[in-house]
Structures are given as C-alpha cells and as structure tokens.
Structure 1
Amino acid sequence: MKGKMVSSLAMLTALSAVGAAIKIPAIVGSVALDIFPALIAAALLGSGAGAIVAAFGHLLSAVIGGFPLGPMHFLIAAEMAVLVWIFGRFYRNSRKISAVVLFILGNAIAAPLPFIFLMNLGFYLAIVPSLLIGSILNTGIAIVVIPRLSSMFLGKLVKNEVKP
C-alpha cells in the first residue's frame, strides 16, 4: 500500500510540474495550472497527500517561473498546502460545493492577503484577478477529472484483457 501511495504522489507531483509550465498571464509569472493535481490527490488519496502535492507543485511552478517572489514562495507553498488540505476534508465529507467555493475564494482572495503587508495593496489588487482565473481553471479541471480517476485510485479499475 505504501508503494502505491508513493507512486501516486510522485505521478501527481510530476503532473504538477507539467501544469506549472502552463502559465496564466499575471503580474507575477507563477500563476499556473499546477494545483489541480493536488486537488485530485486530496479528493482521492486524502487531505495530507493533497497538501504534499500542493506544496511541491507550487515550488516547482515557482522554479519554472524563475522564483519571481523569492523566498516568499515558501509561504505560498504552505498556504497552498493548507487550502488543499481543507478542500480534501470538505470534498471527502461529501461537501463538494463547499470545497470548491472555499478553495477558489481562499486561493484568490485570502491567500494573497499577506502580500498587502509584505509588498503593498497595489500588488494585491493586481494579482487577485489572475489568481481568481487560475483558481477557477485549476478547480474546474480537478472537478471534471476526479470522478473519472476515482476507480483507478480506489483500486476498482476493471482490466480488459485482449484475447489473441
């Protein structure tokens, strides 16, 4: 069981790296499609697994983007881990709409709040629209993909053998 979990985490983290290369136009170049694999992990493997994929996924996205905010990306990675953990808790308790709304609002509105103090209000106001679009896209992809992958991750995949 541990091997399957580690393999799944590695696969979803690699998918985060691929999503990290798909950037959404923003004032800072680290808004990307890097978080939907973490949302998938949180829904199918548990909140902790999703948090791990979220943190690594964001750091990979930041590296690909050139670390435009420097060490502040570690704060963002921690925020992403917490948000995905919350998403996973709600989603796995059959509160899917609440999970989606909380993640989108948390990622787009609440997560960048520390940057009002670390940077300025102008930076916050400039980044929120891009984060909102990115959050909606990442969550939308995850919500479409999760039901399609659930049988594979939950061990119920039916194997169709080709007979000669």
Structure 2
Amino acid sequence: MKLRLLTLAAMFAALSAIGAFVKIPVGIGSAALDTVPALVSAAFLPPVYAGAASLVGHLSSALYAGFPLGPLHIIIAVEMFIILFVFTKLHQGGHHLVKWLFFIVANSLLATLPFYWIISSAFFVGALPGITIATILNAGIAIIVSPVVERVMERVKTHA
C-alpha cells in the first residue's frame, strides 16, 4: 500500500512539474498550471502526499522561471503544502464547496498577505490580481478534470 501511495505521489508531483511549464501571462508575472495535478491528487492521496505534490509543483515552477523571488519561494512552497494539506482534509471530510472556497481565498489572498510586510504593500497590490486569476484558473481546470479522473480510477479499480 505504501508503494502505491509513493508512486501516485511521485506521479502527481511529476505532473505538477510538467504543469509548471504551462505559463499564462497575468499581471506582473505569469500563472502556471502547476497546482492542477496537486488539487486532483486530493481525491487519491493522504494530505501529506498531496501537499508534497504541490510543494514540488511550486518549486518546479519557480525554478523554470529562474526563482524571481529568490529564497522567498521556499515560503511560498511551504504555504502551498499547507493549503493543499487543508484542502485534502476538507475533501476527505466531504466539504466539497468549502474546499474550493478555501483554496481560492487561501491561495490568492492569505498566501500573498505575508509579502505585504516582507516585500512591500505595492508588491502585494500588484501581485494579488494575477495570483487570484492564476488560482481561479487552476481551480477551474481541477474542478472540470477531477470527476473525470476519479471515474477513470474507479474503473481501473474494478477491472484490476
């Protein structure tokens, strides 16, 4: 069972790394689709593994972009881990609407808020619209893809 979880976690982390290459220009930066696989993984993985997939996805995206915020990307990666951990807990608890609302608010507003003090209020105001668009884009794609992937996995379980 543990090997299956590690394999699935590695697969979702790899998909997050691939999603990091899909960049869409928004505001002062670009939105990457690195969070979509991590959001989908909430249906299949324990919270720690889903969080790890998200952490790897963010670090891959930051690496691909050249680490524009330097070591601050470690803070962002840890925030992503925590957000996906809670998101997965909400998913497992059956709070399907709440998990999406939590993800959008936490990933756009709460995750950006520390940078109001770390960098500047101007950075926060400039980054928030783009990050909000990226968050909604990642959530929207995951909302569409998740049920399809879950049905496929159910079919694989019954036929295996």
Provide TM-score, normalisation by structure 1.
Answer: 0.89
Any idea what SS the aligned residue of 1:25 has? strand
Structure 1 counterpart of 2:58: 58
Runs of 5+ unmatched residues, structure 2: none
Contact 2:58–2:77 (Cα < 8 Å) also in 1: yes
Q: Which moved more, 1:149-158 or 1:116-125?
A: 149-158
Q: How much is the aligned-residue C-alpha RMSD, in angstroms?
A: 1.6
Larger RCO, structures 1/2 (Cα 8 Å, 6+ apart): 2
Query: Structure 1 counterpart of 2:11, which letter?
Result: M
**CA apart distance, 1:98:** 0.4
Aligned residues: 158
Task: Measure, in 2, the Cα distance between the counterparts of 1:144 and 1:48.
Answer: 23
Identity of aligned residues (%): 38
Q: Judging by fraction of residues, say which structure has more strand.
A: 2
Structure 1 counterpart of 2:113: 113
Task: Measure, in 2, the Cα distance between the counterparts of 1:6 and 1:46.
Answer: 11
What CA deviation, in whole Å up to 9, does each residue of 1:101-153 have, x standing for no partner? 11001111110111111111111111111111111111111122222122454
Structure 2 counterpart of 1:28: 29
Query: Structure 2 counterpart of 1:18, which letter?
Result: I
Runs of 5+ unmatched residues, structure 1: 160-164
Any idea what SS the aligned residue of 1:69 has? coil
What CA deviation, in whole Å up to 9, does each residue of 1:3-27 have, x standing for no partner? 2212211111111111101113241
In the TM superposition, structure 1's runs of 4+ consecutive aligned residues that sit over 3 Å from their partners are 151-155
Which protein shows a greater Rg? 1
Contact 1:107–1:135 (Cα < 8 Å) also in 2: yes
Provide TM-score, normalisation by structure 2.
Answer: 0.91
